[in-house]
Amino acid sequence: MPLVPPAAAGLARAQAGVATRRQLAGAGVSLDVVRAQLDARRWQAWGCHVVVLHNGELSRRQLMWACVLDAGAPAALASHTVLELAGFTPFTREASSIHLVVPRGAKVAPCSAVVVHESRRLDPERHQQREGLPCTPLEQAALDAAAWQRWPRLACAQVAAVVQQRLTSVLRLEEELGRVGRIRHKAHLREALRDIAGGAEALSEIDLVRLCRRAGLAPPQQQRRRRSADGRVRYLDAEWRLPDGELLVLEVDGAHHLDVGHWEADMRRERAVVLAGRRVLRATSFEVRAEPHLLAADLRSAGVPSCQKGAVP
């Protein structure tokens, strides 16, 4: 980087080649040098306060730095962006944007790739550093990502995926849910966390628990571990021990199970389960969601008992 002293080069490395004018001045880069580099188009300005120390397109990480540095403290990355930095695999389009939370009324440089959320309850003391970037706590980010979904089902799927990917626990999410006050879909999220705590990890599994609850059927045991013939640990979606002692397994298939590779693996897995002495039924996630009465009738015909009075599914 031309005319950047070593101290500023270290700053640039730490912040992906992005710095504020004040930071550069503190590192010994005068305003005249900054102006000369901008005029020569070796560097580029971003917003009112930020300088990008190259003249090319910004990477995603550089854009994150530009957002938080231009907005200034106590602004922080939030929602899907925090989950991204934590290693979350997204499944909604909202995750492609960079989410930034700022105090109510703060001015932020407009950018089509950035979604700005204003908050009256911004608490910088709870912010965490992820790769040097200020972020809201992961559990808060997970709940924000869920609450900002348009539909309750997507909100529940969001928290289920965060737990399924082992980024946090149900207990921590429940604690955060009690701290955040009023948020969108809160009742649905509380119910989803209760179902996840009972073993459901995917949205289809949450739907199955609710199906049983509404149909008056005994809830299944979910994500039961079993060791296959090759010694690997496998998990069953749902299992009931019937009154006659038989074990009934229900496997819920999402769209990815239609792939040939998945389909063949599913067949081998099902054979192993049957050979181990269990009876296996299969259903699609669509049936669980859209035709619960038909699936409930089949489960009842297969011998799944009614939920005992006083039992909490």
Q: Model confidence over 65-122: pLDDT tens digits?
A: 999 999 999 999 999 999 999 999 987 777 789 999 999 888 888 888 899 999 888 8
- Whether residue 174 is contained in a domain is answered as yes
Residue 254 has pLDDT above 50, yes or no: yes
Cis peptide before 74 (omega within 30 of 0): yes
- Which residues does 145 contact at the CB level (< 8 Å), separation at least 6? 79, 80, 83, 94, 158
- Whether residue 270 is contained in a domain is answered as yes
pLDDT confidence of residue 231: 53
pLDDT confidence of residue 263: 54
- Write the pLDDT tens digit of every residue in 171-183: 999 999 999 888 9
What average pLDDT does the segment 178-197 reach?
87
The answer to whether the beta carbons of residues 111 and 126 sit under 8 Å apart is no
Residues 51 and 69 in one domain: no
Residues 193 and 253 in one domain: no
- Mean pLDDT for all residues in the chain: 84
pLDDT confidence of residue 122: 86
Helix (H, G, I), strand (E, B) or coil at 116: strand
Q: How confident is the model at residue 222 (pLDDT cuts 50, 70, 90)?
A: confident
- Whether residue 210 is contained in a domain is answered as no
Helix (H) or strand (E) holding 156: helix 152-164
Number of domains in the chain: 3
- Whether residue 46 is contained in a domain is answered as yes
